[in-house]
Structure 1
Amino acid sequence: MGRHVKSTLDNHLVKHTGEKPYMCDECGYSAFHKSDLSRHMRTHTGDKPYKCDQCDYSSAHKSALDRHLVVKHTGEKPYMCGECGHRTASKSRLSLHMRTHTGEKPYKCDQCDYSAAQKSSLDQHLSKHTGEKPYMCGECGHRTASKSRLSLHMRTHTGEKPYKCDQCDYSAAQKYNLDKHLAKHTGEKPYMCGECGHRTASKSRLSLHMRTHTGEKPYKCDQCDYSAAQKSSLDQHLSKHTGEKPYMCDECGYSAFHKSDLSRHMRTHTGDKPYKCDQCDYSSAHKSALDRHLVVKHTGEKPYMCGECGYRTAFKSYLSRHMRTHTGEKPYKCDQCDYSAVQKSSLDQHLSKHTGEKPYMCGECGHRTASKSRLSLHMRTHTAASKFTLSQHMRTHTGEKPYKCDQCDYSAVVKSNLDKHLRK
């Protein structure tokens, strides 16, 4: 038997024994092959030996450099999807893309009914059964189940943002964030849902969207029966079991599960509204509010319709809430009394009655409240109370009722009365 054939057989036999003889002294990671360990060590050393000869890009892995050369310099995308016209630089990426249309998930978990379109997703899932997290950050001790996640985590320490936009100064730590950003320049949304025609700029967003049709919730809580369609939702849920809120506001003592929540909260103090409408002078502290504004005020599109009463809305979530007026469903249950609510925000507000917690504080007068929405309302009393009161008062004389119902001829002097009417 030739030496090469024997070495290949030896490598294969290791997979049956489970032996991983090559171990990292830094974090305990072990590998089947010495070459795998050598590649792994670059996550600790930061070594990137594969250099692009056309720009300053470098990579720890040759495959990443090969992809970079095709995507950034040749621009060649010879492989095209016959379903939606999406083009890609490699045959393997086209095969992955086609699974968004076929729903094929060839990678099966041998311990539960989970299946995945990509092997990397299955590998990540398997760590949930084993609990194994062999990759450890040398800076803070954070452990992760996959090498790619460790690489992403390390950028929180280094500040590295290797994915650069070639049309503006935007850069990102993760490629999918750059892909989303680029869609803003091109307006391109190559990924289309075969069920409803919804289009999106990224494959990951299409995958998330498809779960609204399939009802799939692959992210399971190991402490209760909660499951979620998105990992971020599960992460947020898990913090409710631990009670940990590591991100705290220096202004008012508000604490949050996630850094992004704290960043949004800080805008209540600074008044910053970075999301600007390009068609009018509207601006918002939150992107979701700007998205709503664009649909409601400028496009007028309301693609979601209630089959019971013909009510139409611009957002699927609004239709889901509306349907509860017909079904009487109140899915948000209090675990301390028999209260239940139609909306999660109502349950959150109710829970503060049990805890007495009022984490939101006004920086002007020290007033505290249990919910962010109530703090926002309170803040307006400092900047616009007199103007609002005068406007409302004048309407009692003029008879003006600017808040119109889009389903009947009802109109109201104040928005809160229209909201109550709409709930009926």
Structure 2
Amino acid sequence: MKGRKDPLGLRGATRDYRIVYAVVIGLTLGALWAYLRPHGMSTSSTFGYDRLDGSSSKQDGAILSLESKVAMLEREVKRLKVENTELAQLNLKNALLEQEAAAAKKQLKAVSPPVKVGPPGTVKSMRTNQEVHPDESTNPKLSALLKKVAVNGELIVGISNNNVRDMVQIWFESIKRVGVTNYLVVALDDEIASFCQDHDVPVYRRDATISKSQAGTGANHAISGLKFHLLREFLVLGYSILLSDVDIVYLQNPFNHLHRDCDVESMSDGFDNTTAYGYDDVMTDPSMGWSRYAHTMRIWVFNSGLFYIRPTVPSIELLDRVTAKLTKEKAWDQAVFNEELFNPSHPGYEGLHASRRVLDFYLFMNSKVLFKILRKEKDFAEYKPVTIHVNYHPDKYDRMLAIVEYYVKGNTKALQRFPDGSER
């Protein structure tokens, strides 16, 4: 039987197409291999690295890149876990603080419930802050002493060293004379401590170091700056203190003339009603034309040598602020005392929220009032102040003796020989 003839040579054509297909497939695979492996089977410096011994390590660049990304993601996950833990802790602390704040508000509301406002003239705010809870553990020795000395939780405290022994004697003799028993000398050296013991004066021996910033300010000012630090212990123990410099003569019992309605009651350096209690001082600036006048409030400073301070949080904060500033700056303690009491809150500074009272300047008198004004007034010939502070004059001891001569011994000429001021 004759074989069939292949029409148009299809068998040959099929073979040709297969060859073509094979060539195309080969070229395609070759191109793909060339794309994926542009440098053949060897590892170039782009994807590999040379070992220290000089041999090449064949590494796949794509695999290394992927591993790097995985490692980076793992580190990021760890970091986020740490941050999440810290955030959880902060959220917990914040929740606790919010609970404490809410509890404090409830307590404050319980202690000071809302009040109904009355008609004009009947509304008065609180002036006395709550006293602190005494902490005897801060100084058991001083606590035991104060229990014996203090009366009704208050006493006079004077701070001194042996340099002013003669003035100290006039000071405590005048206190005894007016019948005050609740007073104490804080002795800064053994000599004045022994002197007080010999004269049956309550004494507390206390070492105190003058800060470097106060060195060179003078012995009196340096010791004066120490008192704010030393007084803190008394307040923390829960006692109200009439802090007294030793250049003061007592002519009446001061505790009968205190108001006890503020954190701080202080004598004034003022010499009349306006300077002692405040006044409107008008300043002028002609360049401003119509608005040339500016009104200012002025008051002469509180005297840091005689003030009554109650054991409240603002009072202790006042002592801490003054002490902190005096340890850093060469400043006068009285100036710092007044700055902290009176400077209002302003940008970058939070003012002290303490209540304050100026004592009657005729009762708690400074030596300017006595020697420049009072001794010349006939109407005041029989007048007797509560205390006289010889703060305006350097010849303190002589003037203290003269004050005793005049008011205690009745020598009406005892004050005449002194000049008004400090000139000799």
Give the alignment's TM-score, normalised by structure 2.
0.20
Which structure's relative contact order is higher, taking Cα pairs within 8 Å and 6+ residues apart?
Answer: 2
Give the alignment's TM-score, normalised by structure 1.
0.20
